[in-house]
Amino acid sequence: MQLALFLIFGLLAVAGAINFLLQRHPINSALSLVVVMMSLAVLYWSLGAEFLAAAQVIVYSGAIMVLFVFVVMLLNAGEEERTHGSRAAYLVGFPGAAAIFCLLSFVFLTNGKAFGSTDLTNHLSNAVNNIAEISQVLFRDLLLPFEVTSILILVAILGAVVLARKEQ
């Protein structure tokens, strides 16, 4: 089952990355990047890094992608043309989404029955230790790169606002 999850979401991440490169419209590229980030979150989760998976969904798929879309809209890259959607998205998207939903439902239901009460307690204590180790490394050992990254993101946002400013 682990191999099947890895293959499905690994291929989905690669397909999303290729679609990101091939899209002509920036909003479609941003949505392809969301697919890549969500696939990576599932891969993190399957490797036992639940905190990283949650952070991937909340921080990158949520906040950073909203920031990207905001900057694209702020820059007003041009007039969007109305389309009726891709035929490939209709042919592959709905059955693919249904297959992924069924696979994830099967994995969650079988793992829920496999955990006993002591196994679940051990699993939760391992998750707490995982979060404690990640936070120690992030906020003790890598504090300077963490803060520099936040300053670089702030500078990039300010640069986008300055570039998008309309001349009077």
pTM: 0.55
The pLDDT tens digits of the residues spanning 45-104 come to 888 888 888 888 888 777 777 777 777 777 665 565 666 666 776 777 778 878 878 877
Topology, domain 2-164: Four Helix Bundle (Hemerythrin (Met), subunit A) (1.20.120)
The mean predicted confidence, pLDDT, of the chain is 77
In the DSSP assignment, the letter for residue 23 is -
- Check: CB of residue 88 under 8 Å from CB of residue 11: no
Helices (H) and strands (E) in the chain — how many of each? Answer: 8, 0
Which residue carries 């829920």 as its tokens? Answer: 112
Whole-number Å distance between alpha carbons of 105 and 7: 17
In the prediction, which pLDDT does 5 show?
84
Whole-number Å distance between alpha carbons of 44 and 20: 21
Whole-number Å distance between alpha carbons of 92 and 95: 6
Q: What value does the mean pLDDT take over residues 134-158?
A: 82
Split at pLDDT 50, 70, 90, the class of 15 is: very high
